[in-house]
Amino acid sequence: MSMAPQAEPAALAPPAPGPQETDGRTRERPVALRLLARPEVGVFLGAVAVFVFFLIAAPTLRDGGSMATVLYQSSTIGIMALPVALLMIGGEFDLSAGVAVITSALTAGMLSYQLTMNVWMGVVVALVASLAVGAFNGWVLVKTGLPSFLVTLATFLVLQGVNLAVTKLVTGNVATDDISDMDGFDQAKALFASSFDVGGIEVKITVVWWLVFAALATWVLLRTKYGNWIFAVGGSQESARAVGVPVTFTKITLFMLVGFGAWFVGMHQLFSFNTVQSGEGVGQELIYIAAAVIGGCLLTGGYGSAIGPVFGAFMFGMVNQGIVFAGWNPDWFKAFLGVMLLGAVLINLYVRRAATRR
């Protein structure tokens, strides 16, 4: 009370209400603050920092070919990080995303080879299977109300076991048979795993898909009803339901979107290596989640962007390749990532607090 008269003349006093009618507490925030409040700004600065750092530390990285490799590496993480990020904004996450990629690739590979079908049949069946896994995750989650950690952990374990067991059962081996001489392989490879030439530099097509999907995801998230619903179910599920947002539909389709991503990356792996190792994919789910979190998505949902994870995935690719090109021991990669993750989360937290403070 007694402090009030002293505080009044201080520079911090709120500005006098202008001629326009205002309520005095919702004055427009400065442009810089509003810009900082965007979820992808923190990660953008981080990506630039990592980029500059490795350009200095690893001169060979300045070469166009090396850059293409970095982008390729980023794209395989980035394509998956997008649906994982949307799901995270929707308030859930999917631990089965990593092995689901392999499940999809195994399904397509084995089905085509064993039944000697056109590979496109395998591709389509794999898509259906991936969407079904996603729908199952979402359906169990919505019906039981269990946390997504438990539901998808169960799916993760089931898929991991099924991948190994079924592959051994069918092929008698830990990997699928080579499908490179089968019908339709070249077409499918052109779609999922080809590369093209840009000024003498070979660029993988996944880079293009990555950016196309990112643009699409951004548009959906910010410019459509469905995007609105994603933010709403992640931000406050009960409020969303109370105002008529179809929460069940939104959650299940988000999980199916992750299934779609897993299918796409799975197809890429199948058609670039012709064969799939059944034990792979474990641990990738955490990389996707990390890329989304580094990209400014709130782990608890309701906040984030689709562009942020693009930079998040780029940081991964950059660090991964940068360490190699800098001639360091690649074992440092994970340690570097951990530091990056923590740093990104702290920066995001700080930026968001500063920018949304009233």
Partner 1 sequence: MATKTPSSTGAPGTHGAVLADPAPERDRPLVELRGAGKSYGNVRALHGVDLAVHPGRVTCVLGDNGAGKSTLIKIISGLHQHTEGEFLVDGEPVRFSSPRDALDRGIATVYQDLATVPLMPVWRNFFLGSEMTKGPWPVRRLDIARMKRTADEELRNMGIVLDDLEQPIGTLSGGQRQSVAIARAVYFGARVLILDEPTAALGVKQSGVVLKYIAAARERGLGVVFITHNPHHAYMVGDHFSVLRLGTLELSSARADITLEELTNHMAGGAELAALKHELAQVGGVDVDALPDDVPDAAGGPAPDSADKSDSTASDSTASDSTASDSTVSGTAEGKA
Cβ 355 vs Cβ 36: under 8 Å = yes
Q: Using the rule CB under 8 A, is 221 a contact of partner 1? A: no
Q: Using the rule CB under 8 A, is 353 a contact of partner 1? A: no
Of residues 5 through 24, those in contact with partner 1 by CB under 8 A are: 21-23
Q: Using the rule CB under 8 A, is 32 a contact of partner 1? A: no
Q: For partner 1, which is the closer residue by CB, 29 or 164?
A: 29
Give the CA angle between residues 313, 106, 212 to the nearest 5°. Answer: 35
Query: Whole-number minimum distance, CB 249 to partner 1, in Å?
Result: 12
Q: Using the rule CB under 8 A, is 213 a contact of partner 1? A: no
Give the CA angle between residues 26, 30, 34 to the nearest 5°. Answer: 90
Give the CA angle between residues 253, 257, 261 to the nearest 5°. Answer: 170
Q: Using the rule CB under 8 A, is 244 a contact of partner 1? A: yes
> Rounded distance, CA 306 to CA 213, Å?
9
The binder of partner 1 chosen from 235, 248, 273, 336 (CB under 8 A): 235
Q: Using the rule CB under 8 A, is 143 a contact of partner 1? A: no
Place of tokens 């991503």: 261
* Buried-exposed string 227-238: b where 16+ CB fall within 10 A, e elsewhere: bbbbbbbbbebe
Q: Bridge partners of 204?
A: 195
Q: Using the rule CB under 8 A, is 236 a contact of partner 1? A: yes
DSSP annotation of 280? T
Q: For partner 1, which is the closer residue by CB, 22 or 173?
A: 22
Q: Take residue 131 and report the two structure tokens written for it.
A: 């969407």
Q: Using the rule CB under 8 A, is 225 a contact of partner 1? A: yes
Q: Using the rule CB under 8 A, is 254 a contact of partner 1? A: no
The binder of partner 1 chosen from 48, 223, 342, 354 (CB under 8 A): 223
Q: Using the rule CB under 8 A, is 4 a contact of partner 1? A: no
Show the site string, 277-316: x = touches partner 1 by CB under 8 A, - = not.
Answer: ---------------------x---xx-------------
Question: What residue spans of 145-246 are helical by DSSP H?
Answer: 148-171, 185-192, 205-223, 225-235, 237-242
Which residues, other chains included, contact 133 with Cβ-Cβ below 8 Å and sequence gap of 6+?
A: 96, 100, 103, 155, 159, 259, 262
Query: Whole-number minimum distance, CB 23 to partner 1, in Å?
Result: 5
Query: Whole-number minimum distance, CB 41 to partner 1, in Å?
Result: 15
The stretch among 124-132, 152-160, 229-237, 276-284 that binds partner 1 (CB under 8 A) is 229-237
The binder of partner 1 chosen from 67, 179, 232, 294 (CB under 8 A): 232
The binder of partner 1 chosen from 60, 144, 180, 356 (CB under 8 A): 356
Cβ 127 vs Cβ 133: under 8 Å = no
Q: Using the rule CB under 8 A, is 228 a contact of partner 1? A: yes
Q: Using the rule CB under 8 A, is 31 a contact of partner 1? A: no
> Rounded distance, CA 112 to CA 95, Å?
28
The binder of partner 1 chosen from 44, 113, 213, 231 (CB under 8 A): 231
Please give the full DSSP string across 105-147, using - where no structure is assigned: HHHHHHHHHHTT--HHHHHHHHHHHHHHHHHHHHHHHHHH---
Q: Using the rule CB under 8 A, is 29 a contact of partner 1? A: yes
Q: Using the rule CB under 8 A, is 243 a contact of partner 1? A: yes
Binding positions for partner 1, rule: CB under 8 A: 21-23, 25-29, 34, 219, 223-225, 227-228, 231-232, 235-236, 238-240, 242-245, 298, 302-303, 356-358
